[in-house]
C-alpha cells in the first residue's frame, strides 16, 4: 500500500512537473518570439532611418550647383551628384568604378594620385574635351580618420565656363577697341607729321589733309560715343522713359534725317507702317534703333534700290517691326554674329562706309531693355530683313 501511494505520488509529481515545464517553455517561446519581433522591428527602423538619411544626403548633394564626387579608400566611386553627371554627360551609373573607368580623364586621375601626399588640392582647372569647351575648377581633399589613415576622398567641381567666356569676350573686346582706335589715330598722326614736315606750304594739299584728319577725328568721336552708350546700356545706367509712341510718325522723322544719304545712292525709302500703330517705348532710344537699322540698309543695300519699313501687331500684346533692303544679303555664317560688338561680315566695305561696328550691338541692347527681341533673316543675293519686337501701347 505504501509502495502504491509512493508510486502515485511520483506519477503525480511527474505530471505536475511536465505541465509546469510545458507552461514555462511556452512562456519562454513567446518571450523569444517577442524579442525576435522587437529585433526585426528595430532592424527595420534602423534600415529605414539609414535609407532616409541617405536619401536626404543624396537630395542635398543633388541640390548643389557644384559637382560632388566621393571616392572610397580604394579610389572607387561611391557617390556622384546630379550636377556632376550633367558636367560630364554621364548616362549610366558609375558607382564602384575607378576614376579612369568612369571619366576617362588622365588629368582627373592625376589629382587623385596627388592626394595621399598633399592631402588637399585646390584650384586645379580642367578643360573637358568637346565642341563647347566646358571648364571646371577642381578642389579635392582626403578624408582621414583620427590616426591619419586615408578612408577616401571627396572632390568638388565648380563650373568656370561662363567666367572663361566672359574673359575671352573681354580680351576680344579690348583687342577690337585697340584695333579700331589705332587705325584712325595712325592716319591722323601721319597727316599731322606730313604737314609739320612742310606740306602746310601747299594750301590745296593742306586743305585735303585737314579734311582727312577731320574725317578720322569724327570717326573716333562716333566710336567713343558708341562705346559709352553700350557701357551705359549694359550697366543699366540708361533708364527707359516708356510712353505711347506713334511708330509711323517716328519712322517718318528718321527717314527725313536720312533722306540725303539715301539720295546719294538713289535709294527709295518706303514707310509702310500702318497708321495708329503705337508702342510703349522710349522715343529717343527707338529713334536710335531705327536710325541704325535704316542707315545700315542704305549703306549695305543695292544702289538705286529700295528700303522698306513695316510693322504689325502680334500675339502677347507686342508689335513687330522690320527694316528690309534688297542688297546682296548676309552670309549664313554671319547671321548669328551680326549683333556682336565690332563684328563685320565685310570688313573692307564696313570701313569704307565709316561704321564703328557697334550699331547693331546698340540696337540689340536697346530692344532688350524694352523687353523685346531682335533678329535677322537673309538669303545671299536676296537682301536682308531685320526684325524687332516691342511692347504694344
Question: Residue 90: CA atoms inside 13 Å, Cβ hemisphere, count?
Answer: 22
| pLDDT tops 90 at residue 21 | no
Report the distance separating Cα 296 and Cα 355, nearest Å: 9
Shared domain check, 376 and 278: yes
Domain that holds residue 177: 160-238
At 255-297, the pLDDT tens digits run: 998 898 899 899 999 999 998 899 999 988 899 899 999 999 9
The answer to whether residue 113 is domain-embedded is yes
Judgement on whether residues 294 and 374 belong to the same structural domain of the protein: yes
Q: Are residues 349 and 375 in the same domain?
A: yes
Q: How many structural domains does the chain have? A: 3
Cα angle 190, 192, 198 (rounded to 5 degrees) comes to 105
49-84: per-residue pLDDT in tens?
656 666 666 666 667 778 888 888 888 888 888 888
Domain boundary among 159, 192, 207: 159
| Widest pairwise Cα distance in the chain | 168
Does some domain include residue 29? Answer: no
Looking at 122, 138, 159, the residue that finishes a domain is 159
Tell me, what CATH number does 227's domain have?
1.10.287.130
Residues 150, 360: Cα–Cα separation, whole Å: 58
- Residue 351's CATH number: 3.30.565.10
Confidence check: pLDDT of 353 > 60: no
**Burial class (CB within 10 angstroms; exposed 0-12, middle 13-18, buried 19+) of 330:** buried
Euclidean distance between CA atoms 359 and 190, whole angstroms: 28
Q: Do 118 and 174 belong to one domain? A: no
- Using CA atoms, how far residue 27 sits from 36, 207, 281, 334, in Å, is 14, 123, 89, 90
Q: Could you tell me if 265 and 362 lie in one domain? A: yes
Q: 3-class DSSP state for residue 271?
A: strand
Domain shared by 253 and 376, yes or no: yes
Q: Looking at the domain assignment, is residue 325 inside a domain?
A: yes
CA–CA gap between residue 254 and residue 295 (Å, rounded): 9
164 and 116, same structural domain?
no
In a domain, 35, yes or no: no
188-203 mean pLDDT? 81
Q: How far is CA 32 from the centre of its chain?
A: 65
75-122: pLDDT as tens digits: 888 888 888 888 888 888 888 888 888 888 888 888 888 888 888 888
Domain final position from 159, 175, 208 = 159
Kindly report the CATH number assigned to the domain that includes residue 138.
Answer: 3.30.450.20
Question: What b/e sequence results for 55-65 when a residue is b if at least 16 CB atoms lie within 10 Å of its CB, and e otherwise?
Answer: eeeeeebeeee
Q: Clarify whether residues 272 and 383 are in a common domain.
A: yes
- Do residues 152 and 185 both lie within one domain? no
Q: Are residues 253 and 391 part of one domain?
A: yes
Asked if residue 195 and residue 148 are part of one domain, the reply reads no
Residue 319 shares a structural domain with residue 209: no
Amino acid at each position: 500500500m505504501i509502495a502504491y501511494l509512493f508510486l502515485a505520488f511520483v506519477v503525480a509529481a511527474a505530471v505536475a512537473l511536465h505541465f509546469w515545464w510545458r507552461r514555462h517553455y511556452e512562456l519562454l517561446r513567446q518571450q523569444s518570439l517577442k524579442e525576435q519581433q522587437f529585433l526585426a522591428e528595430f532592424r527595420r527602423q534602423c534600415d529605414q532611418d539609414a535609407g532616409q538619411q541617405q536619401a536626404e544626403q543624396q537630395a542635398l548633394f543633388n541640390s548643389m550647383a557644384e559637382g560632388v564626387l566621393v571616392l572610397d579608400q580604394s579610389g572607387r566611386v561611391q557617390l556622384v551628384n546630379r550636377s556632376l553627371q550633367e558636367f560630364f554627360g554621364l548616362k549610366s551609373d558609375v558607382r564602384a568604378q575607378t576614376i579612369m573607368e568612369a571619366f576617362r580623364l588622365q588629368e582627373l586621375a592625376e589629382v587623385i594620385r596627388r592626394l595621399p601626399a598633399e592631402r588637399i588640392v585646390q584650384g586645379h582647372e580642367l578643360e573637358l574635351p568637346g565642341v563647347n569647351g566646358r571648364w571646371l575648377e577642381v578642389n579635392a581633399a582626403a578624408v582621414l580618420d583620427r590616426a591619419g589613415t586615408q578612408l577616401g576622398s571627396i572632390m568638388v567641381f565648380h563650373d568656370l565656363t561662363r567666367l572663361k567666356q566672359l574673359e575671352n569676350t573681354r580680351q576680344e573686346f579690348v583687342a577690337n577697341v585697340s584695333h579700331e582706335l589705332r587705325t584712325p589715330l595712325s592716319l591722323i598722326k601721319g597727316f599731322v607729321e606730313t604737314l609739320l614736315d612742310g606740306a602746310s606750304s601747299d594750301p590745296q594739299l593742306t586743305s585735303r589733309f585737314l579734311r582727312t584728319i577731320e574725317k578720322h577725328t569724327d570717326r573716333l568721336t562716333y566710336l567713343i560715343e558708341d562705346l559709352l552708350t553700350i557701357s551705359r546700356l549694359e550697366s543699366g545706367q540708361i533708364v527707359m522713359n516708356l510712353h505711347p509712341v506713334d511708330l509711323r510718325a517716328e519712322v517718318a522723322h528718321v527717314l527725313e534725317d536720312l533722306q540725303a544719304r539715301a539720295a546719294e545712292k538713289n535709294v527709295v525709302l518706303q514707310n509702310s507702317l500702318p497708321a495708329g500703330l503705337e508702342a510703349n517705348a522710349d522715343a529717343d532710344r527707338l529713334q536710335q534703333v531705327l536710325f541704325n537699322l535704316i542707315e545700315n540698309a542704305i549703306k549695305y543695300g543695292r544702289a538705286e534700290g529700295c528700303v522698306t519699313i513695316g510693322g504689325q501687331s502680334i500675339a502677347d500684346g507686342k508689335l513687330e517691326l522690320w527694316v528690309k533692303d534688297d542688297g546682296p544679303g548676309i552670309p549664313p555664317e554671319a547671321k548669328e554674329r551680326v549683333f556682336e560688338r565690332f563684328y563685320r561680315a565685310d570688313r573692307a566695305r564696313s570701313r569704307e562706309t565709316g561704321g564703328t561696328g557697334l550699331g547693331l550691338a546698340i540696337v540689340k541692347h536697346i530692344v532688350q531693355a524694352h523687353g523685346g527681341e531682335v533678329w535677322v533673316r537673309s538669303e545671299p543675293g536676296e537682301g536682308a530683313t531685320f526684325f524687332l519686337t516691342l511692347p504694344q501701347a
